[in-house]
Amino acid sequence: MKTYDVIIIGGGQAGISVAYFLRRYKLDYLILDSQETPGGRWNQVWDSLHLFSPREYSSLSGWQFPKNKEVYAPKDEVIDYYTKYESRYELNVERPVEVDKVKFEDGIYKISSNKGDFMAKAVVVATGANNIPEIPNIKNKDQYKGIQMHSLDYRTPNDFVGKKTLILGGGNSGAQILAEVSEHTETVWATLQEPQFLPDDQDGRYLFTRSNEAYLNGKTDVSLKDDLGKIVMVAPVKEARERDVLHARKSDFEFTEDGVIWGNGEEEKFDAVIYSTGFKPDLSLLSSLDVIEDNKIATNETESIKQKGLYLVGLGNWTGYASATIYGVGKTARDTAQKIANYLDK
Ligand code: FAD
C-alpha cells in the first residue's frame, strides 16, 4: 500500500488551505473528505445563511473571494468559491471518504475509513470545530414530545410553519434563526444572559477590521473580545427588531410533555424547540492515539506535543488565532505546512 507524505482528514476550508501550502513543498498529500462535494460544512448550514464576514475578509490564501455589490455572500457562493478553488489549484481530494480511526504503528499513520485503509508519514486533522451539537441538559428533556432540533440540523423556517417554537441561545445563530422562524409562526426566544447586540453601524466589516489590526499589532484588544460575542445586526435581525419579536426571556424552565414550565411557575405549550446552543469538535477518530484531554489535544501551535507528525487545523482558537474563520485559517495553514515540511525534512 502506498504511503503518502501527508493525509489531511477533512476537505473544508481548513483542509484545502493546508493542501494549498503543501503544494509549495512538493509534498505528496491526499485529502479525505466525507462530503459528497466540495464546501465542507457550508453544504449543511441553513438555506438562507449569508456570511457575516464581508467579501474582502472571506478569501482563502492565493485567490480573492469574488467581488459583488452585496457585501455579505450567500452560502451558495461560498460553496462555489471553494469548488473552484479546489480545481484552480488541482487539489488532490477523495470524496466521499469517512475516516473512522487514526492509528500510529511502526512510525507510520494508518488511517481506516469506509473506503479502506490509507497510510501516511504525517496527518492533519481538519474535520471542523462544529460537528458535535452541544445541547443543554434541561430537566425532563426526554419527556418532551415535540420537535427538538439543533441549529446544526436546521435548514428552513418552512419546517416550523404553524408550530409554536421556542428558540434557545443568545448568539448570532439564535438571533438569525429567531428572525426567520418568527416570520412564519409564533416564537419565544430564551437565553441564559440578556443578549448583547452590536450597534447597527458596527457590522462584520468592523469586527474583522479590528480583529485584523489587533492581530497585526500583536495586542489583545479587550473590548474587541467583548464585541466578538455580540450579535451582529444583519438585515433579517434588524427586521425582526422592527417587527418587535427580538426579545429574549430568561432560559429558566423545565420541560413538560407538551411544552415548558418557566421559573415563575407559568406553563406554556410549544410544538418545537430549536437549540442554538453551540457545538464542539469531534476528536473520536483520534481515540487510539492517547492524546485527547477534555476534548482538546495539547499542541504547540497546531502540532500535537505528545504525538509527532499529528497536526490540528481549524478546530478553534486553541489550534491557531481565528483559525476557524475563512480569513484566519490561511496563516495557520501556511505555518502548519512549513512545520510538516520541516518534520518530513523536505
Ligand atoms: P468544516 O467546514 O466543518 O469542514 C470539515 C470537513 O471535514 C467537512 O467537509 C466534513 O465533512 C469533513 N469531515 C469531518 N469528519 C470527517 C471524517 N471523520 N472523515 C472525513 N471527513 C470528515 N467564518 C467566516 O470567516 N465568516 C463567516 O461569515 C462565517 N459564518 C459562519 C456561520 C455559521 C453558522 C457557522 C457555524 C460558521 C461560520 N463561520 C464563518 C466559520 C467557518 O467558516 C465555518 O465553520 C467553516 O465551515 C469551517 O471550516 P473547516 O474546514 O474548519 O470545517
- The predicted complex's ipTM stands at 0.99
Top pLDDT among 339 and 346 is at 339
121 pLDDT exceeds 80? yes
Over residues 263-280, the mean pLDDT reads: 97
Task: Out of 47, 130, 228, give the residue to mutate to test ligand 1, the one with the largest number of ligand atoms within 8 Å of its CB.
Answer: 130
What is the DSSP track for 62-121? TBPPPP-SSSS-BHHHHHHHHHHHHHHTT--EE-S--EEEEEEETTEEEEEETTEEEEEE
Residue 191 clears pLDDT 90, i.e. is over it: yes
Contact assessment for residue 205 and residue 54, using Cβ atoms and an 8 Å cutoff: yes
Burial of 235 (0-12, 13-18, 19+ CB in 10 A): exposed
Cell of 35: 462530503
Task: Average the pLDDT over 90-110 and give the result.
Answer: 97
Q: 236 CB less than 6 Å from ligand 1?
A: no
CA distance 66 to 87: 16
CB distance 42 to ligand 1 below 6 Å: yes
Query: Are the folds of 3-131+281-345 and 132-195+231-275 the same?
Result: yes
Mutate to test the pocket of ligand 1, among 177, 326, 331 (most ligand atoms within 8 A of CB): 326
pLDDT at residue number 186: 97
pTM: 0.93
Q: Is 17 in the pocket of ligand 1 (CB under 6 A)?
A: no
Q: Name, in order, each residue with C-beta under 8 angstroms of 323's C-beta and a sequence gap of 6 or more.
A: 14, 302, 313, 314, 315, 316, 317, 329, 332
Q: Before 199, cis peptide (omega within 30)?
A: no
Domain boundaries, the chain: 3-131+281-345, 132-195+231-275
Q: What number does the ligand 1 atom closest to the CA of 315 have? A: 52
Instruction: Report how far residue 156's alpha carbon sits from residue 180's, in angstroms, rounded to the nearest whole number.
Output: 9
Query: Residue whose CA is closest, atom 12 of ligand 1?
Result: 10
Q: Which is the closest atom of ligand 1 to the Cα of 128?
A: 53
CATH entry, 3-131+281-345, from 3.40.1180.10, 3.50.50.60, 3.30.70.20, 3.40.50.300 = 3.50.50.60
3-state secondary structure at position 272: strand
Mean pLDDT is lowest, of 224-228, 237-241, 317-321, for 224-228
Average pLDDT value for residue range 327-340: 95
When mean pLDDT is compared across 98-102, 198-202, 218-222, the lowest value belongs to: 218-222
The Cα–Cα gap between 234 and 231 comes to 9
pLDDT class for 320, splitting at 50, 70, 90? confident
Q: Determine if ligand 1 sits within 6 Å of the CB of residue 52.
A: yes
Which of 7, 9, 41 to mutate for ligand 1's pocket (most ligand atoms within 8 Å of CB)? 41
Q: Where are the alpha helices (DSSP H) in the chain?
A: 13-22, 75-88, 172-181, 204-216, 222-228, 235-242, 329-343
| Model pLDDT for residues 23-56, shown as the tens digit of each residue | 999 999 999 999 999 999 999 999 999 988 889 8
- Separation between Cα atoms, residue 57 and residue 41, nearest integer Å: 19
CATH code of 132-195+231-275, in short, is 3.50.50.60
Atom of ligand 1 nearest to the CA of 99: 19
Kindly state if the Cβ of 324 falls inside 6 Å of ligand 1: yes
Ligand 1 centre to CA of 234 (Å) is 21
Ligand 1 centroid from CA 267, angstroms:
38
pLDDT (0 to 100) of residue 135:
96
Average pLDDT over residues 124-131: 95
253 has a pLDDT exceeding 90: yes
Q: Which residues of 5-20 are buried (b: 16+ CB within 10 A; e: fewer)?
A: bbbbbbbbbbbbbbbb
| Confidence tier at 234 by pLDDT (50, 70, 90) | confident
For ligand 1, whether the C-beta of 93 sits within 6 Å is no
Average pLDDT over residues 87-106: 97
Q: Is the shortest distance between the CB of 315 and ligand 1 below 6 Å?
A: no
Cα-to-centroid distance, 193 and ligand 1 (Å) = 27
165 pocket-lining for ligand 1 (C-beta < 6 Å):
no
